[in-house]
Amino acid sequence: MTELVQVENLGRAFDALWAVNGVSFSVERGELLGLIGPNGAGKSTLYNLLAGALAPTRGEIVFDGQRVTGWKPYHMARVGMARTFQIPKPYRRLSVVENVMLASFQRHRSVRSARVFAEEILADVGLSDHVTAPVTTLTVGLLKRLEVARALALEPKLVLFDEIMAGLTPTEVAAMTGFVSTLPARGITVIWVEHVLHAIMKTATRVMVLDRGQLIANDAPKAVARDAAVIKAYFGEEISLA
């Protein structure tokens, strides 16, 4: 496997606060990487830096062999990086399938082909019964699935998921976890931010832990679960992976 992402000494300050502070890591192709940490640790800010929504104050990002530091979101999407938003941001005047088609047009030129592809992805995420529904009728759980579908419709090399489980029922969490774990085999590398820890710990090949802008752990789930610094900063107590 070769590296898809290399991040070197990445930092972003908001006035005096370093939301992300000296973060370095790499991601291999085919990984399913968990990214966890307490509220305000800098997880979403790190995503904004990777996806080009925020410019870094310092540091470098290499994606798929190119230095992409400071590139804009549309440019990052074009070279294969997709992300979901912690708060879903669908186009509220459009239907479910139209929202996904806007993304699938990036790689599909004809309306027909974009629509067929969008419907396939909607089936993958369990939204087949809602294809023509206005997005305003969707529950939180269904909106989260739409967010995932829109990201995958870009046919990314890397997808950044930001709390796609929040607000889901246990059955929905199990279904989504099963689905996410199939993505690496389809050639999609995943970084996954989630507070639903059992889902991450069960599926991730590796887990990174952010605390106050800094990486305090970067290891296999089992090792992270008993890491003293992580327990102190986030878990409160050792967590069971059974």
Ligand X SMILES: Nc1ncnc2c1ncn2[C@@H]1O[C@H](COP(=O)(O)OP(=O)(O)OP(=O)(O)O)[C@@H](O)[C@H]1O
Nearer to ligand X, 106 or 214 (CB): 214
Sheet containing strand 3-14, edge to edge, reads 17-28, 3-14, 58-63, 66-67
Applying the rule CB under 5 A, the residues between 4 and 43 that interact with Mg ion are 43
Nearer to ligand X, 188 or 209 (CB): 209
Residue 238 corresponds to which tokens in the numbers above? 């050792």
Q: Answer with the entry of Mg ion, ligand X, none that 90 interacts with (C-beta below 5 to 8 A by kind).
A: none
Q: How far is the CB of 15 from ligand X (least distance, A)?
A: 7
Which positions touch ligand X (CB under 6 A)? 14, 17, 19, 37, 39-45, 86
Residue 29 corresponds to which tokens in the numbers above? 């192709």
Q: How far is the CB of 17 from ligand X (least distance, A)?
A: 6
| Helix intervals (H) in the chain | 43-50, 73-78, 96-104, 111-124, 140-152, 170-180, 197-203, 221-225, 228-230
Per rule CB under 5 A, is residue 44 in the interface with Mg ion?
Answer: yes
> Residues 83-102: x/- map of binding to Mg ion (CB under 5 A)?
---x----------------
242/221 Cα distance (integer angstroms):
12
Nearer to Mg ion, 97 or 164 (CB): 164
